[in-house]
Amino acid sequence: MAKLVNRQNFMAKIKDTGLGIFTARDVQALFKVSKVSSSFLLHRYNKTGFIIRIKRGLYAFPDTIPPEIYLANKLYAPSYISREFALSYHGIIPETVYEMTSVSTKATRRFEKLGKIYSYRHIRKEAFTGYSVIKQQGYSFIIADPEKAFVDTLYYRILFGKEPMSRFNKDKIDIKKVMQYAKLFNNRKLTAVLITTFK
């Protein structure tokens, strides 16, 4: 197998596909090798530093690590970027947010990868909506719309006993959309706080 899949061939073929990160299954499909062989190859290349392991089962080339905003969706799926990071991204809040904040229908998790913190809050399936796919620098990522990011953030603030946001750009938020998204949480306190906020 080593003769069939040398380093140059491995790198060229994967980069030609446009995969920012790849898995053993990708290697199986591209090089027509067994699951065991693909796992062995990835382990060997990772051990020598030719590729890096971002998390269990996910790999990338050291010179072409995808943007953090793209990795956020891939590290824990299904998920979409939301909460404070999305609000900052959309210019709703003035602060720069360094933690990659997301929501997921899976359990709440927090990772530190490649010097960056990625946090994921559990969200009910009925509320897992209100996001768009954005393409940037050749990579696509899923991020909450401004209104959904606002509602998501407020919901978790209420849930954990924190004060609602005091500084945000109301001009960039459609109040009707906010109230529609709020209904998905079926939370009276959330609705009441939103009504007060947008009086």
DSSP helix/strand/coil, 41: helix
Residue with tokens 């197998």: 1
In one-letter notation, the amino acid at residue 94 is P
Whole-prediction pTM value? 0.90
Phi and psi at residue 16, in whole multiples of 5°? -65, -30
The answer to whether the peptide bond before residue 146 is cis (omega within 30 degrees of 0) is: no
CB distance 135 to 107 below 8 Å: no
Phi and psi at residue 191, in whole multiples of 5°? -60, -45
Architecture of domain 7-64: Orthogonal Bundle (1.10)
Residue 159 CA, distance from chain mean position: 22
CA-closest candidate to residue 104, choices 81, 70, 133? 81
Boundaries of every domain in the chain: 7-64, 68-197
pLDDT tens over the chain, length 199 residues: 444 578 999 999 999 998 889 999 999 999 999 999 999 999 999 999 999 999 999 999 999 999 999 999 999 999 999 999 999 999 999 999 999 999 999 999 999 999 999 999 999 999 999 999 999 888 999 999 999 999 999 999 999 999 988 899 999 999 999 999 999 999 999 999 999 999 8
**Which tokens belong to 12?**
């060229």
pLDDT tens for 65-88 read 999 999 999 999 999 999 999 999
pLDDT tens for 100-121 read 999 999 999 999 999 999 999 9
